[in-house]
Every structure is written in C-alpha cells, then in structure tokens.
Amino acid sequence: MKKFTVLLLIIFPYILSAQDWGIKFNGFVKTDAMFDTRQNEAAREGHFLLFPLDEKQVEGGDVNETMNFNMLSIQTRITGKITAPDFLGAKTTGMIEGAFFGHTNPDINGFRLRHAFVNLDWGTSELLIGQYWAPLFIDEAFAKSISFNTGTPFQPFSRNPQIRYTIKVDKFHVNVAAYSERDFASKGPDGETSTYLRNAVLPVLNLGLKYNTGSMLFAVNANYKSIRPRLLTEKNHIDENKVNAMTFNGAIKYYVEDFFVTLQGLYGQNTSALTMLGGYAITAIDEETGMWEYTPLNTFSGFIDMEYGKVWKIGFLGGYTQNLGADENIRGTVYARGANINNVLRISPRLSYRTGMTQFSTEVEMTQAAYGTRATSKGVIENTHDVMNIRVLLAAILYF
C-alpha cells in the first residue's frame, strides 16, 4: 500500500498535465539571516518584525536594548495554480498555497494554509470564493520589502476567507466583498480570536474601486466591520453591545518594465486584525447590568515604496503610522496593538541580485517607535520617547 501511495504521488502531476485541466506548482525556497540591535514586537522567533519594544529599565540598564540574531527558512512557499473546465460559462481557476511559517510561535516550521480559492471569470465579471488577501491589501500595490513583514504595520496585512464579486468595465473594476477572520483576528477580552466577529453575525464588508491603465494604478477601498467582544457581563446579563468601525485606504502606483513607485495611505478604526496599530476601548460600564460600551481607536498610516533594475535591483521603503486616539472618552480597558505608541517610522533601503532562478538580497530596516503615556481621555499618546531598532537582513532565494 505504501509503495502504491508513493507511486501515485509521483505520477499524479504528470496525469494532470496531460489534461486541459490540472495543477501546476511553483514557489520558492528562502533563507533569511537577520541581525537586530534591539528586542522587537515580532512573530515567529523574530522573523515577522513590527516595531521595537519600549525601554524596560532594570539594574544595569535597558534590557530591551539587547542585540539578537537569527537564521530561518520558514518563509519557504509552495503554490499550486489550478485550471479546470468551464463552469456556467466562466473560465475556472483556483489556487492553493502554503508555507512553513506555522500558525503560531509554538508551531513554527509547521505547514500552514495561505491561500485557497476558486475563481470564476466571465470576462466582464468575476467571482472569487475562498481564502485570499483581505480586500484592503491591494495586491497590485503592496510593499516589496525583502523582509516578510511586507511593510507592516504601515499597510494592511491579512488573509481572510471571503466572497468577492468584481465587475470589470475595460480598465475600471468595482468589487464588493464579505469576509470573516481566521489567522488574523481581532483583539478582545479573550485574546485574539475570530469569536468576536462571528458573534456579531455580520461579516466584514468592503467596497473597492480600481483603475489600471497598464502603467498607472489607482485603487480605493471603503470597509465596515462590527464585532461583539462578549456575550455575558460579570453580573450575568447578556451584553449585546458592539464595536463598529470604518476604514478607508487608497493607492497610486506607477510602473514600467524596470521601475515602479507606489504610494499608499489608510485611515482606519479598530485595525489590529490587519496587523496594524489600533483597536478599541471601553467608554462606559453600566453599574446595574455591567454592560460595556466601546469606541474604536483611529489610526493613520502611509508608505512609499520604489524599485529600479532587472538583474541588479535597488529599492527603498519609507513608512509612517500614527495612533490618533478615539472619538469618545476612554473609561476602561483598551484592547489594541501598540496602545502606548504615538507613532512608528521606518526607513528601509534594499539591494537584490537575481540571475535565472536564484536571488540574493540584503536590506537595512530602521524602525523607530515613539512610546509615551495616555495624556488625554481620548487615548492620545504624549510625553513620548523614541526607541529604534536597526535590522540587517540577508536573504537567499531559489525560485521554482
């Protein structure tokens, strides 16, 4: 039986390639060696870096000023692109993609799902069903950093199960999407979990517009999200209160054969599930029932990313994000990422050399965070002090 299974795995791709439909695999093997001048808020043993940690003064100085080094190959990725017979007159394609990044820090090196969807294309309209980039992640205009953080926390970064319908009129595309949370979830009383969105019943809703001339891309999104942080109060009353939030972002990209430049900006509420600063806070607690009322925290972010070259490629990423506080007074717990951060700034030049299927790259990522105290009742952070991390990254990539 084992021999038959091995034989089937060997010949299965060849059987598929003989059909008009099937699956073709590609991907890459990538190893990153990284050196940091400071301890950081990061995932997967420091691989996915967000921003440096605040000072932690102990006897002998700031313990978070400790330098560190790591080398990992967990970004290695396999992508299967699927073609299938037409369905209801639509060209049918799909994708399944995974990497060895793991689901959580203890699961590092574990194989995890990145994308898995079916796409039906009628020419003038398109329907995508499955897990893919969140609509706020503009996949034609994301930051092309060598670091796996892909410009986070300055741009939305999330993959979500979704239904997305797109109407295509020449160079102009309009899409509407409804999606849930899975690997990237909201913060709340029970930690990071998709439970809050599920209990609110309504999926996240997004309206997107894109206009692509072939050398210029313009894209905007409007996004609505509602979560229900808990079902029951400490006084045994059903708590139906929700956190409602709106997020808007847009991008402009100019690109020719060997050069591109991208500008992107976002104004958002409760954006922690997008791997960005932000979240929400309690504004009132009912003395009789114990029910909580909430306000979302507002966040601004933007970045510029550019690159030139074909064999030798030189690039630059600059990003900035700021905590703008809340619209209402905060009188309780804050559930957020970077709740004591006023702003984060990053400057990151990069250089790559690629010939054939092999690429070597280096990147210097300088990230500064301004930590402080909540100086106003609306959560604005003042009395700040800056901390900086400098990451030197070396990467070797083999594409297949």
| 106-141: pLDDT as tens digits | 888 899 999 999 999 999 999 999 999 999 999 999
Name the band, by pLDDT with cuts 50, 70 and 90, for residue 90. very high
Q: Is residue 5 part of a domain?
A: no
Contact status, residue 69 vs residue 35, Cβ threshold 8 Å: yes
Task: Give me the pLDDT at residue 107, please.
Answer: 82
Q: Is residue 4 part of a domain?
A: no
Task: Name the average pLDDT for the chain.
Answer: 94
Q: Count other C-beta atoms under 10 Å from residue 10's C-beta.
A: 9
Q: Which residues of 117-127 are buried (b: 16+ CB within 10 A; e: fewer)?
A: bebbbeeebbe
DSSP 330: -
The total domain count for the chain is 1
Q: Compute φ and ψ for 64, nearest 5 degrees.
A: -75, 0
Query: Rounded to 5 degrees, what angle do the CA atoms 176, 182, 186 make?
Result: 90
Q: Is 50 exceeded by the pLDDT of residue 6?
A: no
Name the band, by pLDDT with cuts 50, 70 and 90, for residue 55. very high
Q: Is residue 11 part of a domain?
A: no
Name the band, by pLDDT with cuts 50, 70 and 90, for residue 375. confident
Q: Is residue 90 part of a domain?
A: yes
Contact status, residue 227 vs residue 200, Cβ threshold 8 Å: yes
Condensed to tens digits (0 to 9), the pLDDT of residues 161-214 reads: 999 999 999 999 999 999 999 999 999 999 999 999 999 999 999 999 999 999
Greater confidence (375 vs 16) lies with 375
Q: Is 60 exceeded by the pLDDT of residue 19?
A: no
Q: Is residue 14 part of a domain?
A: no
Question: Which CATH number do you get for residue 291?
Answer: 2.40.160.10
Task: Give me the pLDDT at residue 21, please.
Answer: 83
Q: Is residue 2 part of a domain?
A: no
Q: Which residues of 95-116 are buried (b: 16+ CB within 10 A; e: fewer)?
A: bbbbbbbbeeeeebeeeeebbb
Contact status, residue 274 vs residue 156, Cβ threshold 8 Å: yes
Residue 111 tokens, joined? 């194989």
Q: Is 60 exceeded by the pLDDT of residue 14?
A: no
Task: Give me the pLDDT at residue 10, please.
Answer: 52
Compute the CA torsion angle 160, 164, 168, 172 (nearest 10 deg). Answer: -50
DSSP per-residue string spanning 35-94: EESS-EEEETTTTEEEEEPPP-EETTEEGGG--EEEEE-TT-EEEEEEEEEEETTEEEEE
Contact status, residue 299 vs residue 279, Cβ threshold 8 Å: no
DSSP 151: T
Domain that holds residue 59: 22-399
Q: Is residue 7 part of a domain?
A: no
Task: Give me the pLDDT at residue 5, please.
Answer: 47
Strand duo 68-72 + 243-256: pairing: unpaired
Condensed to tens digits (0 to 9), the pLDDT of residues 304-336 reads: 999 999 999 999 999 999 999 999 999 999 999
Q: Tokens 């804050």 sit at which residue? A: 334
Q: Is 50 exceeded by the pLDDT of residue 104?
A: yes
DSSP 257: T
Whole-prediction pTM value? Answer: 0.92
What number of helices (H) and strands (E) belong to the chain? 2, 23
What is the rounded average pLDDT of the residues 238-244? 97
Q: Is 60 exceeded by the pLDDT of residue 341?
A: yes
Q: Is 70 exceeded by the pLDDT of residue 84?
A: yes
CA-based Rg of the chain, rounded to a whole angstrom? 23
Query: What is the percent of the chain where pLDDT is above 70?
Result: 95
Q: Is residue 348 part of a domain?
A: yes
